[in-house]
Amino acid sequence: DIQMTQSPASLSASLGETVTIECRASEDIYNGLAWYQQKPGKSPQLLIYNANSLHTGVPSRFSGSGSGTQYSLKINSLQSEDVASYFCQQYYDYPYTFGAGTKLELK
Amino acid sequence: EVQLQQSGPELQRPGASVKLSCKASGYTFTEYYMYWVKQRPKQGLELIGRIDPEDCSTDYVEKFKNKATLTADTSSNTAYMQLSSLTSEDTATYFCARGPYEQLYMDAWGQGASVTVSS
């Protein structure tokens, strides 16, 4: 199975700041990567697919990039509603696997 | 509007079985995979498997092959997951999630169903 290593595990940032979350795959996943946001007590919601495509309705301050084994999620101009956990998921090879998550809090 | 409505919380004894449901609406049920994902308290996400409601074919993650059984009823647009021989390790929230055939991410999720296994 492909292992997804996500960093950092937790992150504290101020309103308006730009934050970046990283995900590293144990092998090339050819951009088969999604990012999800999960708010406390809620289900995950798709943000980004194919490494850099914004899902319908997701604010443009979210963006994804990367290739090969290294991927990142960037949030520009952090808003209070962005407080959540973020997970990456590879879907290049079954079984699809998730990163351990990044918990984003406000400073 | 795409909606996946899951069944309510369950409290079960060790050794019992439980069957969770996920009723789909707002799209053609047979045109998307249905995935099931496990999330233990304060933990990450773990794929259990998926079902293609078009022909009820299934793919299970190896560690769940003897634990979970996925089915689907196209007459009611409902997917089901049965978990057997419950232990404390099965205490978790279980999500169903829709995924397009062509793109293998999960683009809509149910609200989750909590399963607690306790004597």
- In this model, does residue B104 exceed pLDDT 90? no
Q: Is A40 on the interface with B (CB under 8 A)?
A: no
Return the pLDDT at B43: 84
Mutate which: B106, B111, B114, vs A, most A CBs within 10 A: B106
Which DSSP letter does residue B102 get? Answer: S
Q: Residue A46 is nearest to which of B45, B46, B105, comparing CB atoms?
A: B105
Q: Is A53 on the interface with B (CB under 8 A)?
A: no
pLDDT digits (tens, 9 = 90+) for A2-54: 999 999 999 999 999 999 999 999 999 999 999 999 999 999 999 999 999 99
- Give the CA distances from residue B13 to residues A2, A5, B10, B42, in Å, rounded to whole numbers and listed in that order: 34, 35, 10, 22
Return the pLDDT at B69: 98
Return the pLDDT at B102: 82
Q: Which residue of A has its CA nearest to B63?
A: A95
Q: What is the CA radius of gyration of chain A?
A: 13
What is the spatial distance between Cα A23 and Cα B86, in angstroms, rounded to a whole number?
33
With an 8 Å Cβ cutoff, are B95 and A43 in contact? yes
Q: Is A84 on the interface with B (CB under 8 A)?
A: no
pLDDT digits (tens, 9 = 90+) for A54-102: 999 999 999 999 999 999 999 999 999 999 999 999 999 989 999 999 9
Beta strands of A10-49 (E only): which ranges?
10-13, 19-25, 33-38, 45-49
pLDDT digits (tens, 9 = 90+) for B29-77: 999 999 999 999 878 899 999 999 999 999 999 999 999 999 999 999 9
